[in-house]
Amino acid sequence: MTKATAAIVGPGNIGTDLLAKLQRSENIDVRWMIGVDPSSDGLARARARGVETSHEGVDWLLAQDELPDLVFEATSAYAHRDSAPRYAEAGIQAVDLTPAAIGPFVCPPVNLDVNLSAPNVNMITCGGQATIPIVAAVSSIVPVEYAEIVASISSRSAGPGTRANIDEFTETTSYAIEVVGGAQRGKAIIILNPVEPPMIMRDTVFCSIPAECDRDAISEAIHAMVAKVQEYVPGYTLRADPQFDDPREIWNGHARVAVFLEVLGKGDYLPVYAGNLDIITAAAARVGDMLALAKVGANA
């Protein structure tokens, strides 16, 4: 069966983890891993996995006779803002794992089906992939005036890109909580924890809910959504049943539901504690699969 060809740009933690996942795909053939540093460990790892590499960046990739069908961007928001128009011009569909937010946000269990033809789709952030499904589940039952998420990740799993541009995480995730999650207002918080042994990724979602509402229906929707995420991230679990708190004046008279999540990774590249890597690369791989199927189907 024909596969769509792909390049990964950015041989860091995310790019390396993504490579392992895409190499298991029946629809995608990863041909190139692109970096900017000849001594990059990530490029060496990709070569060892049988992938052609270059340290001469996007310029090199776009100068090749054969271009990929898909490019997975795992650099930084700044780098992707420069590269995105060039990919589009070359007719390469981009799956953006940076917080650049150029193309529409995609969160597979929420809105994967609606953006398959976009030239550029954005994977939001790791914290967004972990929490927005829950916000969407709650807002499918009741209006959510305000949703807030707290993502705690191990320091070891936060690469230099995340660290240099941490505002991109909070701003992009906050916005996606609104446009994908369906909350009227969103807020995102990220915490880096250096404890040893490393902590497994944790995410907490707080949603304001009407004072009077069907709490059982909300709970059921949350459990159903967790099952949908588990289809591609098996280590995505609830730490406890959703917690409901009664209305308070300081919450504008709203009640609150709090959801406590743990994301245990698959351990493809970084160890299992790095659920933050796993959930965004697993989501990107799922999106890539859908895009590839659409392309291969069209070519056939």
Which residues does the annotation mark as catalytic? Answer: 126
Q: Which two tokens stand for residue 155?
A: 């320091």
When the beta carbons of 156 and 266 are compared against other proteins, the nearer one is: 156
126-139 and 215-230 helices, crossing angle to 10°? 140
Strands 4-9 and 120-122: unpaired
Asked whether the beta carbons of 153 and 276 are under 8 A apart, the reply is yes
Q: Least Å distance between CB 59 and other proteins? A: 27
Distances, alpha carbon 95 to alpha carbons 139, 161, 252, in Å: 26, 17, 39
Binding mask 9-48 for other proteins (x = CB under 8 A): ----------------------------------------
Q: Residue 67 interacts with other proteins (CB under 8 A)? A: no
Among 17, 69, 73, 148, binds other proteins (CB under 8 A): 148
Question: Where does this chain touch other proteins (CB under 8 A) — which range of 38-46, 51-59, 108-116, 244-252?
Answer: 244-252
Q: What distance in Å separates the CA atoms of residue 97 and residue 287, rounded to the nearest whole number?
A: 11
Closer residue to other proteins (CB): 55 or 256: 256
152 binds other proteins (CB under 8 A): yes
**Spatial separation of the C-alpha atoms in residues 198 and 212, rounded to whole Å:** 40
What residue type is 290 in one-letter code?
Answer: M
194 binds other proteins (CB under 8 A): yes
Note the helical H segments in the chain.
13-22, 41-48, 57-63, 77-89, 108-111, 126-139, 160-164, 166-179, 215-230, 275-299
244 binding other proteins? (CB under 8 A): no
Both tokens assigned to 84: 């995105």
Residue 169 as a binder of other proteins (CB under 8 A): the answer is: yes
The reply on whether position 165 binds other proteins by CB under 8 A is yes
Tell me if 189 contacts other proteins by CB under 8 A: yes
Our finding on whether 190 is near other proteins (CB under 8 A) is yes
For position 160 contacting other proteins by CB under 8 A, the verdict is yes
Binding marks (x or -) toward other proteins, 202..241, rule CB under 8 A? Answer: x-x-x-x------------------------------xx-
Q: Which stretch binds other proteins (CB under 8 A): 7-15, 196-204, 217-225, 291-299?
A: 196-204
- Residue 139 contacts residue 181 (beta carbons within 8 Å): yes
Beta carbon of residue 79, minimum distance to other proteins (angstroms, whole number): 16
Q: How far is the CB of 205 from other proteins (least distance, A)?
A: 9
Which residues have a Cβ under 8 Å from the Cβ of 288 and sit 6 or more positions away?
6, 22, 25, 27, 28, 70, 72, 95
- Mark 99-118 with x for binding to other proteins (rule: CB under 8 A) and - for no binding: --------------------
Q: How many CB atoms lie within 10 A of CB 217?
A: 13
With CB under 8 A, what is the number of residues at the site for other proteins?
A: 36
CA 55 → CA 121, 157, 227, 293, distances in Å? 25, 23, 40, 29
Q: Are 26 and 90 in contact (CB under 8 A)?
A: no
Residues that bind other proteins in the complex, under the rule CB under 8 A: 148, 150, 152, 155, 160, 163-167, 169-171, 187, 189-196, 199, 202, 204, 206, 208, 239-240, 243, 245, 250-251, 256, 258, 260
